[in-house]
């Protein structure tokens, strides 16, 4: 069984965030980014399933800028077999991410999709709920 795991690039949880001077958003200049901790747990669980013989392949997928390759490399280092990067430089909202993930699921045809319970940057779990609704 193929397992697909979604991973998200977020500001590292150890970093003190700064707000832009115009208060429009978070200032990402020179900020360390990391894989969302709940996504990391999802990757680890998928790898456990593979080690137990339940899964045959673990595919990590992310939607985001070119720099999100770093989080895919982390997933590969944790034991994922392959990585899929849907590259975009636009800001990705939950519904957009869910629609893209639905297309990837359609193409990859996994037996199981695992998502982290929530994102630490927006503190929501909307993408998973929307993906399930699609």
With the C-alpha atoms ordered 77, 80, 84, 85, is the resulting torsion angle positive or negative?
negative
Q: What is the pLDDT of residues 27-72, one digit of tens each?
A: 566 678 789 999 999 999 999 999 999 999 999 999 999 999 999 9
- Smallest CA-to-CA distance from 132 within 95, 87, 82 is with 95
Q: What is the number of domains present in the chain?
A: 1
pTM passes above 0.85: no
Which of 14-23, 43-52, 108-117 ranks highest by mean pLDDT? 43-52
Domain with 10 in it: what CATH number? 3.40.50.620
Beta strands at 112-114 and 9-11: parallel, antiparallel or unpaired: unpaired
Confidence of residue 134 (pLDDT cuts 50, 70, 90): very low
Task: Give the structural domain span for 101.
Answer: 2-133
């Amino acid at each position: 069984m193929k397992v697909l795991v979604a991973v998200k690039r977020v500001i590292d949880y150890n970093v003190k965030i700064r707000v832009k001077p115009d208060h429009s958003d978070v200032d990402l200049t020179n900020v360390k980014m990391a894989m969302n901790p709940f996504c990391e747990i999802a990757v680890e669980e998928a790898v456990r399933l593979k080690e137990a013989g339940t899964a045959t392949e673990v595919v990590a997928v992310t939607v985001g800028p070119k720099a999100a390759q770093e989080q895919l490399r982390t997933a590969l280092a944790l034991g994922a077999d392959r990585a899929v990067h849907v590259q975009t430089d636009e800001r990705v909202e939950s519904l957009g991410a869910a629609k893209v993930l639905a297309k990837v699921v359609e193409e990859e045809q996994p037996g199981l999709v695992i998502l982290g319970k929530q994102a630490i940057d927006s503190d929501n779990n909307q993408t998973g709920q929307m993906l399930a609704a699609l």
